Structure 1
C-alpha cells in the first residue's frame, strides 16, 4: 500500500504540473478605452496612449485616479493586462473590480482584485473579494503572493461572473472559484455592475496592516492597463427594475446562456488541477480558515483537513512560502513589448 500511495502522489504531482501547461490562452475581443470606458476621478492623472489601447493611472500627492466602464453589465467576463507601480509602493492600492455601489448603496455587490502596496524586495500580494447584497461584514477575502514581478511586464487579470459562479484568473489560470448556492442566498452577487480600475492611497491598512504608509518621494505611482475586455450583456439598472424590462432581461438571459456554454465558463479537469496547484503554491490567507473572525464556516467553504493544517486559525499560512528564483524569459510577447513602450 505504501508503494501504491507513493505512485498515486507522484501521479497527482505530474498531473498538476501538466495542467497549467495544458491550459489554452483565453481569447476575447478587446476594446479601446474610448469604446468602453470613461474617466472616474483624478482626470489630470489619467494618461492615454495615442492608439487608445493603453491607459495609465497615476497617484501623486494631489490625488489618485480611476476609470469606469461606460455601461453596467448583468454578468460577463472582465479582463485587463496590468503593470503595477515599481520601487517602494507601500500603502498604494491598485484595484480592478466590478461594483454597483453608486446605484445600490446599501445593498451593493462587488468582485475585487486589490493589489496591496509593496515594500521594496518583497513579493507583491493580491487580494480577491466577493460581496453580495451589501455583505461587507461577511468578507470573503483571499490573498495570494504573485509568482512573478508584476512591475516589469504586463500580466492579465480576469473576472468571470455568471449566475452559477464567480471565477478569478491570473494569466488565464483560474485561482479562485465561488459557486452560487441556495445557502449563500443574497451574498452571491446578482445585480448589474460596472467595471472599475483605480489607484489610491490606502496607507491606513494596505501594507502590513498600515505599518508602512505611502511615501510620495517615490511617486508618482503609475499603474498601466491594456488589453481591456468587456464581455457581457449591457443593462440599465433603472429600466431593469421597471415592468417594461422583460425584453431586455430575456436578451441578457440568452447572452449569459451562451457565456455559460463557452470555454470560458467550463471548469475542465485541467483548469481544476491548475487552480489547485496555484492555490497550494501561492495562497497565504483564506477566510475559510479564519475561525477567529468566522467561527461558523461559510456554506461554500469545503475544506479538507490536509489543507486546513497548513493555515493558522487566523486564516494565515503557518509557514512562509518557499520561492525559487526563476530566470526571466529571453523573448517577450508582442503585446508586452507594445504595452511596455508606453
Structure 2
C-alpha cells in the first residue's frame, strides 16, 4: 500500500473510534457517491444528483436499482438521509443494509433497515433485522410505524455496529439496541460486510402477505438517498482484516445508549413498535436465548395482536411472511 492509501486508512481509523453521539453525527464527513459507492444494478434507474452527493433509485416494470459501497467494513457507523416514494407503494421495498452474502453464501451476516410500502392512505412501515453466521432460521425482525411521513421529506436512518452491540437510529433517536450475548454464539454479525441500498418489487410478501402487489401505473417509484456516511474501518478485501483492530481499547469507542437516549427509545417502542420476534409465540414457543422480555412490551403487543403475541389459535389462514428473513405485518399510528 502506498503512502496515500496508508493515510486514508489512518484517518478512517481515527474517524471510527471517535464515537458518534446524537449531537455529533451530523458533523460526520459526507463523501461524494463515486468516492464511496458504485452502482449495483438497475442501469439508468440509478441517477446521481446534486454535486454527486444525492442518488435516486427507481423501480419500474423493467427493473429496480441499487448501489453498494466500494469497501468492506468491520464495525462502524453507517447512515443515509432517505426520502421514500409517495402515494400507492404496496409491494415496494426500499432497503438500506449491510451484508456479506456474496462472500459467505452459507453463513452470511446481515444488518437490515427495510422500508415496506403500502396501499394509498396507509403508512410506510419500517423493519429492522439481524442475521449472524447464516442464522436465517431465526428471524430477528422488529417492525414499527413512524411519527412522520417518510415520503414527505428526508429523514436520517443509521446503523451503529461494534463488536458488542448493534443500534438502529431514526433521526438520531435509537429505536433498537441489540447487545451481543454469549448465548448468541456466532449469531451476532462478526464478519466484514458491505453497505447496500436497493429498491425492488417484493409483491409476493411485502404488503399483507402479497395481497397487495406493486401497481406499475404509479411507476416509477423513486427513493432518494443523500448525506451518505461511511464511518468505519475499511477491511482488506483479500486478508479480511480491519485496519483499526489495534485501537479497540480506545475510550472513544461507543459504549451504548445514554440515559436520555434510552428514554427516547423506550417512548418510541411503546408508541410505534408493532412486531418483535421475541414475543412471537406462534413462531417461538420459547423466546430465543438473547431476548430480554419486557413485561410492558409483552402486554401491549398481546393486546395489539392476541394471536401472534398471546399464542392463540390463528384463523382464516393468516400467517407470517418473509423478506430476507422478515416476518409479521401491520403498523401503528403515532
For the pair 1:253 / 2:252, whether they are aligned, the reply is no
Aligned to 2:40: 40
- CA displacement at 1:184 relative to structure 2: 0.4
Preserved CA contact (<8 Å) 2:47 2:55: yes
Once the two structures are superposed, the pairs formed by residues 220-239 of structure 1 within 5 Å of their partners are 220-239=220-239
Q: Is the 8 A contact 1:81 1:156 kept in 2?
A: yes
**Which structure 2 residues correspond to residues 267-282 of structure 1 after superposition, within 5 A?**
267-282=257-272
Instruction: Select the structure that is richer in helix.
Output: 1
Q: Tell me the alpha carbon deviations over residues 204-253 of structure 1, each in whole angstroms, 9 at most, x when there is no partner.
A: 0001111100000000000000000001111134313xxxxxxx54x321
Q: CA deviation at 1:23?
A: 5.5
Moved more, 27-36 or 100-109: 27-36
Q: Does 1:314 align with 2:308?
A: yes
Match of 2:287 in 1: 297
Please identify, of 129-138 and 305-314, the stretch whose mean Cα deviation from structure 2 is larger. 305-314
2: distance between equivalents of 1:71 and 1:304?
Answer: 38
Where do residues 154-193 of structure 1 align in structure 2 (5 Å cutoff)? 154-193=154-193
Q: Distance in 2 between matches of 1:255 and 1:90?
A: 45
Q: Which residue of 1 aligns with 2:321?
A: none
- Looking at structure 1, the residues matched to 144 and 121 of structure 2 have their Cα atoms a distance apart, in angstroms, of 17
Aligned to 2:320: none
Confirm or deny: 8 A CA contact 2:123 2:331 kept in the other structure.
no
Distance 1:23 1:100, change over 3 A: closer
Residue in structure 2 matched with residue 54 of structure 1 by the alignment? 54
Distance, in Å, in 2 between the alignment partners of 1:172 and 1:163 is 21
Match of 2:25 in 1: 26
CA, structure 1 residues 256+65, in 2 after alignment: closer, same or farther (shift >3 Å)? Answer: farther
Residue 257 of structure 1 deviates from its aligned partner by 4.5
Q: Displacement, 1:267?
A: 1.6
RMSD in angstroms over aligned alpha carbons? 2.0
Cα deviation for residue 146 of structure 1 reads 1.3
Instruction: Give the whole-Å Cα distance in 2 for the aligned partners of 1:40 and 1:321.
Output: 33
CA distance in 2, matches of 1:32, 1:315: 45
Partner of 1:194: 194
Are the counterparts in 2 of residues 74 and 252 from structure 1 also a CA contact under 8 Å? no
Aligned: 1:285 with 2:275: yes
- Hey, what's the Cα distance between the residues in 2 that align with 1:197 and 1:321? 25
The 1:132–1:270 alpha-carbon spacing in structure 2 relative to 1, beyond 3 Å, is same
Q: Normalised by the size of structure 1, how large is the TM-score?
A: 0.81
Number of the residue aligned with 1:78: 78
Distance, in Å, in 2 between the alignment partners of 1:322 and 1:201 is 25
Unmatched 5+ residue regions in structure 2?
Answer: 1-20, 311-327
Aligned to 1:125: 125
Matched, 1:100 2:100: yes
- Taking structure 2 as the reference length, the TM-score comes to 0.83
2: distance between equivalents of 1:166 and 1:70?
22
- TM-superposed CA distance for 1:50, in Å, is 4.1
Contact 2:159 2:166 in 1 (8 A): yes
Unaligned runs of 5+ in 1: 1-21, 241-247, 324-342
Change (3 A) 1:31 1:181: same
**Contact 2:109–2:134 (CA<8 Å) still a contact in 1?**
yes
Q: How much does 1:299 deviate?
A: 2.0
Aligned to 1:143: 143
